[in-house]
Structure formats: C-alpha cells, structure tokens
Amino acid sequence: MNERSRRLRTGIFVAGAIFLLLGALFFLGGRSLFTKKIKVCTYFDESVQGLSKGAAVKFKGAPIGTVSDIRIIFPNYVVVTMEIDESSFSGARGIEGAFRREVRENGLCCRQEYTGVTGLKYVDFDYHPMEQKKQDPPSFIGNTDALYVPSVNSRIANIAASAADAIEKINQLNIKEISEEATGIMHDIRALLSNQELMATLQHLNAVAANLENVTGILGRAIDEDKLGNLINLLEGSMKSLQEFIRRLDETTTSANIPECAAVFRSSASKVAESTGALEHASEAVVNGQQELSNTLLKLNQAIDSLRMLIEYLERDPGSLLRGKTPDRK
C-alpha cells in the first residue's frame, strides 16, 4: 500500500510539473500559435549589421512583431521578412488593408534603428513621405504573399553618405591652385596700394571733396536766413511807406485843401526819402549777395570741371581704379 501511494504521489508530481511547464511555454510564446500574423517584407540597400532573425519590429517605438527571415539578393540588396502580430493594434480587423493604404497615401515606411548602444538593430515603422522609395515591390523580391512596405535609409547611413560626399568634394579641390591664386591676389593688392598715380588720384578726389564742402559753406553764408529776413523787412517797410503816401495823396486831392496838401506832401516827401534810403540799403545788400553768389558759382564750376575730368578719365580706362593710371605712350 505504501509502495502504491508513493508511486501515485510521484506520478501526480510529474504530471503537475509537465502541466506547469506547458503552461509556462504557452504564456511565454505559445499564445502566438493562436494569434493571426501579417507577413510584411522590405529590402535595404545598406548594411544590416546588428539586425538578425528574431529582432524586434516596432511601430513608432511600440513592439508589434519580429523579424522572421533575412535573405541576400546578391550583390546589392538584403530582403527582410517580418511577422506582425495583428492583436497589437486595436480594431485589428483589416489591419493589412490599413497598412497598404497608409503606405500609398501617407508615406508609411520602415527603417533600421539602433537598440541603445548595444549595436543591435530593430525595424521601426514610421511616416517618411519625403524620403519614401517606390511603393511597388521591385522584381528581385519575387512572388510572395507578404505585404511590401518601402524602406528608407537609417540616420547613420545618411550621415555617412553626407560625410563621404563632403570628403569627395574636398578631394576634388585643387588646394595648390587656390593657394597660388590667393598669393597672386595679395601681390596685386599690394601693388595697387603702392601705386603712386592711384594715390594721386585719391588725393585729387579728396581735394575735390574739400572744394565741394567749401562751396557748400559759402552758399550757406551767402543765403543766410537773417540776411534774407532783413532784406524782406526792408522791402516790406518801403512798400508800406509807398502805400501810405498814395493813400494820403488821394485824400489830399479829394479834399482840395492846398495848405494841408502842402504839409502832407512835405511829410510824404520825407517818408519817400526815407523809403528811398531803405531801398538803396536793400539794393546794396542784394548787390553784395550777388557778388558772394558769383564767387560761389565760380568755385562750384571749378569743382564740376575736376569731377568731369575724373569721370572722363575713368570712362576711357575703368581698370585704372585697380591697376592705377596707365602711362601715356609717346
């Protein structure tokens, strides 16, 4: 009896262990046997170092499946087949059609990404409409029931390509020729700065500028606001005196009172004399202003003649600004 009990207990223990083992296997991976899978394939024309069978497949970083196969299309391409767990998506029904629609309409692609600093890679699905390759599967993939999704180059591949392109452009530069041209330019600049004729031309330009400033000052002094105001006031006073004289003469003639007319006439004559003096003073101021203005115009003509000579010389030989004045040939 004891032997039978011991054997029974041993059998129950073994059966329980087997049951627990099967349950663990089911929870760890056996459930995938009852989950619908979607086959997706793509190809890469870059290195897949770090990507292997069983590597994770993610959608915007969320795990959705694994890499099931990696196949080399010699010599340029690597075809990668993935299995996507349909249950990873809410509303899983029709997910294959949704994938196909997103590829065509919104630029859904896959790209290799690094898992931290381990050097291992996974395949990530995301939207890259500006970088997307052809949406139709290439002929070298062959007949397959897998859904084709285009791929784009990884960030590391883009950086490496940019660096290689930059190095190639640097290699194409002729450093020696550039250095010789820079040295020649420096010599030309030194010769230009030491050219005496060019320095004389610049000094002449400075003299012309100084003359123009002098002319401007003379014009400012000749057309002074105070002088103009005094001249206008004198002319207004003279006009008022003449108007008063005419008014009184008209009144005197109307009243026909001779003695009073004589007195008025004498007073008016005195004011006319004063007005005449004021007019003479105003005329003298105008004459002085005309003399200063004539001097100013003379200097302005001289400055214009200098500028005209310079412009005519530059029109005949524009390159003289860089190499200096060309010596006259006899």
Predicted pLDDT of residue 13 = 79
The H or E element that residue 244 is part of is helix 225-255
CA distances from 262 to 192, 241, 246, 253, 270 (A): 86, 18, 14, 11, 12
Whole-prediction pTM value? 0.44
Lowest mean pLDDT among 122-126, 181-185, 221-225: 221-225
* CA distance between the termini of the chain: 144
Predicted pLDDT of residue 272 = 47
Amino acid at the residue 37: K
Give the mean model confidence (pLDDT) for residues 122-150.
85
| Structure tokens given for 168 | 């190639």
Give 188 or 308, the one with higher predicted confidence. 188
Per mean pLDDT, which of 53-62, 81-90, 110-119, 252-261 is the most reliable? 53-62
- The predicted-structure confidence for 188-245, as pLDDT tens digits, reads as follows 777 776 777 767 777 777 777 777 777 666 656 655 666 666 767 776 776 777 677 6
305 φ, ψ (degrees, to nearest 5) = -60, -40
Confidence of residue 145 (pLDDT cuts 50, 70, 90): confident
Give the mean model confidence (pLDDT) for residues 24-52.
78
- The predicted-structure confidence for 235-275, as pLDDT tens digits, reads as follows 677 677 767 767 776 665 565 454 554 454 456 546 545 65
Predicted pLDDT of residue 265 = 46
Q: What is the mean pLDDT of the chain?
A: 75
Q: Give the 3-state secondary structure of residue 327.
A: coil
Give the mean model confidence (pLDDT) for residues 95-117.
89
Give 82 or 94, the one with higher predicted confidence. 82
Please state, in angstroms and rounded to a whole number, the distance separating the CA atoms of residues 149 and 139: 14
Predicted pLDDT of residue 155 = 80
Strands 56-59 and 62-73 come out as antiparallel
Residue 72's closest CA among 53, 44, 51? 44
Give 17 or 276, the one with higher predicted confidence. 17
Predicted pLDDT of residue 77 = 94
Amino acid at the residue 319: G
Give the start-end residues of each E strand in the chain. 37-44, 56-59, 62-73, 77-85, 108-114, 121-127, 147-148
Contact 122, 115 (CB under 8 A): yes
Amino acid at the residue 196: Q
